[in-house]
Amino acid sequence: MAISSIFVRCFLPPQRDEDRVLLLKCMPNLKVKVHGGSGGGGRILLSRGCNVRCGFSAQDKPPKPKQTQKQSHSSSRRSEPDVDPVGFLSKFGISDRAFAQFLRDRHKALKDRKLELFSRFLDMSVASSGYGILGMHRHRQHRVDFMEWAPGARYCSLIGDFNGWSPTENSARDGHFGRDDFGYWFIILEDKLQDGEEAEQYYFQEYNYVDDYDKGDSGISAEELLKRANDEYWGPGEVRTRKSTLEMLSRLYEEMFGPNGPQTEEELGEIPDAETRYKQWKETHKSDPSNPCYDVIDNGKEYDIFNVVSDPVSREKFRRKKPPLAYWIEMRKGRKAWLKKYIPAISHGSRYRVYLNTPDGALERVPAWASYVHPDADGQSAYAVHWEPPPEDIYKWKNKRPKVPKSLRIYECHIGISGSEPKISSFKEFTSKVLPHVKNAGYNCIQLIGVVEHKDYSSVGYKVTNFFAVSSRFGTPDDFKLLIDEAHGLGLLVLLDVVHSYAAADESVGLSLFDGSNDCYFHTGKRGHHKYWGTRMFKYGDVDVLHFLLSNLKWWVTEYCIDGFQFHSLSSMLYTHNGFANFTGQIEEFSNQYVDKDALIYLILANEMLHELHPDIITIAEDATFYPGLCEPTTQGGLGFDYYVNFSVTDLWLWLLQDVPDQAWSMSKMVNVLVSNQSNSRKMLVYAENHNQSISGGRSFAEILFCKKNQNSDDSEDFEFRGSSLHKMIRLISFSISGFAYLNFMGNEFGHPDRVEFPMASNNFSFTYANRKWDLLMDKGLHKGLFNFDKEMMKLDEKEQILSRGPSIVHHVNDSNMVISYIRGPLLFVFNFHPENSYENYSIGVEEAGEYLLILNTDDISYGGRGVLQSDQNLQRTCPKRIDGYRNSLEVTLPARSAQVYKLAQVQIPPFPTEISSPGTSPPSLRQLRKWLI
């Protein structure tokens, strides 16, 4: 039986057209294809089992002629940037054939993956917007919709406070409003009528629960509004023979797609062919002369779509008609009317879980797309919380996102340990107490770790269980929004440490065995488990897993206005050995059988999506193996990150502090590590120490430097000065010698003396070390001095733009004297790491002659130093002595274990030589001037 199309002229407002098509997506046996447009009228072509084309076109203009294949191809080539899968190799001088071939194969696989992705989703925006339909969402037609992906289940229902935890009351089965071919389950929760209220007569009647449309609701009945729309639209003589379009659409929608409509072709009945139906229609309209003369030509096109030919008079008359949108808007009831008529199917704050029947038995799971979750606690199983506050309580953003600065000074934070009391701190406490400190300290960005919901608090938040939920132990979603909003108001960007490299293995609250099968989100077998951390590894080659992860990134940007991400532990996902291998730096290690090509493709897709939809977004790669092309454009074979983390610097300092005596520190080795990747320094994020040194079973630098038991008895009197001096020098050289971004972990700026230790069984779940001692800043002592110095270092970048300048030029490295000097921009940095020797009149080469002003000195008394340099030594003049390959030099005083920063304050212009400046001589030639200037 051939089922023909039904052509309907409809009068829905353009902004509602797209939403109505989304409604139709839920109908079985109905395919949907959307064609954009934004005109005043609209056409919807509905067909059972056929495509639905929906779009508005101004004045119903005929479509433009199609381009030829040659024209279309050339046009697309002009619009797309040039793509070279191995483009970045020549930039870094990599000539390995095997790796180049790997990049080409990866690019082919990327194109295939995009084709597979876009065959399911319209474009990258749709592919990353799953949170818009999955999970729990309020619908305009007085109901709540729930959708979940569980392909291994054979029955699905919602249980919770709202239905007495009944596994049968709100359920979905295979078939109508059940599971589709991809394993997505759909459940509708109908809002309940108040006592004495009657159900709506019209199926399309909308009640907007969020926005207040009551000011447009005049209280007139729907029948009267439909009559007004009918009278306004149809002219004299037309209304007698034509039904109201809205009435016709309502009846058609109810009969074909309503809850009681036919669901199979047998129920639909026999439908005559298109020609027979057209002849019947024409016969019924012959008697009315006001009807235009239409003729239909069947040209045999697919879906029985015809060309409709009309006379010019009736066509122009038809085009002039405008839909009565005002009446349609008036029919949309607002929240006041909703509250009078309905009770929510699931109220704000209700607990719920998803119930799944699997081949191995019944399961209860926390929905994967839940936005607010309470993990296991006090013997209670984990559950999701329906977060739908009333409109008057919905958080309203006050501040705009700050502009991305030229250089990033990042303050890394953990909310739970940010308080001074031995407890889990909250979003609100962090907002009121820590954010002002970050602003005062001179940082322009915060990076939050452990924010996403996790069951195990001692994991620091890296064993994520619920990827779309902020951790309930810190507060509510609105509390987190307030934190970000206040940070933006202070001019601080907010980055999120996102963990897509693995997931928690918990089953009751996480994604592991979510639908009863072992291959829903993760790989099966050994590949699906991290070898050392007991976590699960994502199946990055699955389209639905990509849909989940890409949507998760976009969710944090759109819902919480996050400004960027640091992708945690990429080594775990890029290699099947999870990064636990002895890397030698050979290029073959980045393209051998242990490299996960699917994971690389996901990172490319993630960066392309984020930067395409949010151009100001910041992405940072945390990869200890320095995979080639991390920060190169994806069109040139790179992964597309904005920055990469340099792990080598902190490893250098830990090795020197713990294993090498002060007198044996090698300046050459130090410089080689600090500037080892100068060619890519514009993409490098550097830190002296981050949370790993304090949290991951190690000790912070301050704990190493200020622990008395680590000092010899002879040096016990000077241990505080030694620790303070090295603490400042390590930070200054790490901050200034290379990189365009700098990171510091919360508390390390003032030398927090204790490690971080989360409550766990091994310490009787103690919070003794799970906090920060902010009271140390109240005293004018060691920690206050360290903070003052770190603050001045941040101000120096704010004023002189150190991080955003080009690479530094290291021109003086003396291992015997333990002195390092380099120039970056207009600043001269000089470091004396010798533990005992101070130097008077130490010569350092400079290019520009003139006066150099001392603008930062680690030995200043206000920073805990000894103040060896006097005020009359703050200004130094150059002498014409060639040193370090430069024409001029400075003779400076270098106290032991200290560093100074000089700035060229005044350029000295040498006098003209006597042979060209004496009275009576001829004017100097151009050659003489050039020689004098050079």
Query: Which is nearest to 639 in space by CA: 97, 110, 113, 99?
Result: 110
The span from the CA of 643 to the CA of 631, in Å, is 6
SS3 assignment, position 169: coil
Q: Please tell me the chain's helix, strand, coil percentages from 3-state DSSP, rounded to the nearest 5.
A: 35, 20, 45
- Beta-carbon contacts of residue 19 (< 8 Å; ≥ 6 apart): 140
Query: Which is nearest to 461 in space by CA: 574, 569, 352, 617?
Result: 569
Catalytic residue among 453, 622, 749, 792: 622
Do residues 817 and 810 make contact, with C-beta atoms less than 8 angstroms apart?
no
Structure tokens at 822: 């380099």
Active site residue 622: yes
711 exposure class (CB count in 10 Å sphere: 0-12, 13-18, 19+): middle
H/E run at residue 435: helix 435-441
Do residues 646 and 740 make contact, with C-beta atoms less than 8 angstroms apart?
no
Among left, alpha and beta (phi > 0; psi -120 to 50; other), residue 315 is: alpha
CA dihedral 196, 197, 198, 199 (to 10 degrees): -140
Among left, alpha and beta (phi > 0; psi -120 to 50; other), residue 884 is: left
Distances in whole angstroms, Cα of residue 839 to Cα of each of 429, 817, 833, 892: 48, 9, 11, 8
Dihedral sign computed on CA atoms, order 738, 739, 745, 746: positive
Among left, alpha and beta (phi > 0; psi -120 to 50; other), residue 224 is: alpha
Do residues 502 and 530 make contact, with C-beta atoms less than 8 angstroms apart?
yes
Report the DSSP pairing between strands 643-645 and 618-621.
Answer: parallel
The span from the CA of 468 to the CA of 560, in Å, is 11
Report the first-to-last Cα separation within the chain, whole angstroms.
91
Do residues 783 and 768 make contact, with C-beta atoms less than 8 angstroms apart?
no
The DSSP annotation for 324-356 comes to: -HHHHHHTSB-HHHHHHHEE-SS-TT-EEEEEE
Half-sphere exposure of 659 (CA within 13 A, CB side): 6
Query: Which is nearest to 636 in space by CA: 75, 105, 73, 90?
Result: 90
Rg over alpha carbons for the chain, rounded to the nearest Å, is 35
Report the DSSP pairing between strands 53-55 and 33-34.
Answer: parallel
Strand partners, 821: 812, 830
Structure tokens at 168: 């049968």
Distances in whole angstroms, Cα of residue 3 to Cα of each of 50, 54, 253: 9, 19, 16
Query: Which is nearest to 354 in space by CA: 370, 377, 372, 343?
Result: 370
Buried b (16+ CB within 10 A) or exposed e, 505-530: bbebbbbbbbbbbbebbbbeeeebbb
Residue type, 771: N
* Number of helical (H) and strand (E) elements in the chain, helices listed first: 25, 35
Half-sphere exposure of 686 (CA within 13 A, CB side): 28
Do residues 437 and 403 make contact, with C-beta atoms less than 8 angstroms apart?
no
Residues involved in catalysis: 622
